[in-house]
Every structure is written in C-alpha cells, then in structure tokens.
Structure 1
Amino acid sequence: ILDEIGKTRPITTGFVVKGGKIDFVKMLIYRESIGAEVRRTSFTNQFKGASLGSSGKLSRRINNIAGATLSTRAMMEMGRVAIYLDQIRPK
C-alpha cells in the first residue's frame, strides 16, 4: 500500500506484485476533488503485467486521463515503486 501526492492530496493505492510484474491494483482512497476517473477498473487494469524496464520506467504504456494528469503520474510512480520494492525485498 503506497501513498503519492496527486495534485494536492495523497492518493492511497494497493499494488500486488508477483514475479516482478504488477498483478493487481486497487485504489483505496482518492482525496482529490477532480480526476476521480483514475479509480475506475478500466484505468487500473492498464497496470496489469507491467514491469520495470531498463530505464526504470514501466514496461507498459499507461493512457492518461484528461483532467487527471497529475493523478495519472502519481499512479505510475507508485507502480514503479511497488515493483522496485518487490525486487529488493529479501526472499
């Protein structure tokens, strides 16, 4: 479970990472007044199967939502962090 600032408020999201890839994403708390479309399953499903590329970016393209650019970026950052934390955790 990670928090990242969207435009002005934290977005709390749970990520399940298996085998270095995002398996499941669930938005737990969205506190912003606009851009709530990032809560939709159609948005969060874009993260499934994403891993970290050699440049440290997500391996999948995540389509932005008009009016929710900062929330989309926050979600992408949390996805990268979730994968990274899974990679460095002791096995």
Structure 2
Amino acid sequence: MSAARPLPSAPDAAPDADCSPGLAEWIGLKWLMGLWGRRVDVGRLQCDSAYAHACLDEACSCNDPALRDYAQRLRQRLAA
C-alpha cells in the first residue's frame, strides 16, 4: 500500500526576483501536469522559452486551482 504524496509547491517568495525557475520547480510543474494527463519535457522547459510559455499557458487555463497558481508563479519568475 503506497502513501499519498504531497503536492509540490512553488516557493512563497522567489530567492531572487531576477531568477528563472529552477529544475525542482519545473519538475513540480511536470508532476502536476502529469496528474492531468499532460506530458511535459523538463529539459525542453529549461532551454526552449516558447515551449515553457506554451506549457504555462496551458497550465494557467486548466480547472485545477493548485496547478493554475503554481503556473502563475512560474510565469512571473520567467517574466522577471
């Protein structure tokens, strides 16, 4: 019997406003989107800004408030 895993969360405050999302944050997005059946390539998220923005757009428009909030915070970090 497996225990339920907690949902990943983005940091409440970014360590540096000019810092783009780190690997752990992209993995959190991948995990959350995976719960909704959407596959995400973390390596591509890190190097292809158009792909990252498209994934964040999709996440921000989903019905899951936790995923929308997480994606909004990552989107703000990318814009900084």
**Fold-level similarity (TM above 0.5):** no
Of the two structures, which has the highest relative contact order with CA contacts closer than 8 Å and spacing of 6 or more? Answer: 2
Normalized per residue, the structure richer in strand is: 1
TM-score by length of 2: 0.35
TM-score by length of 1: 0.32
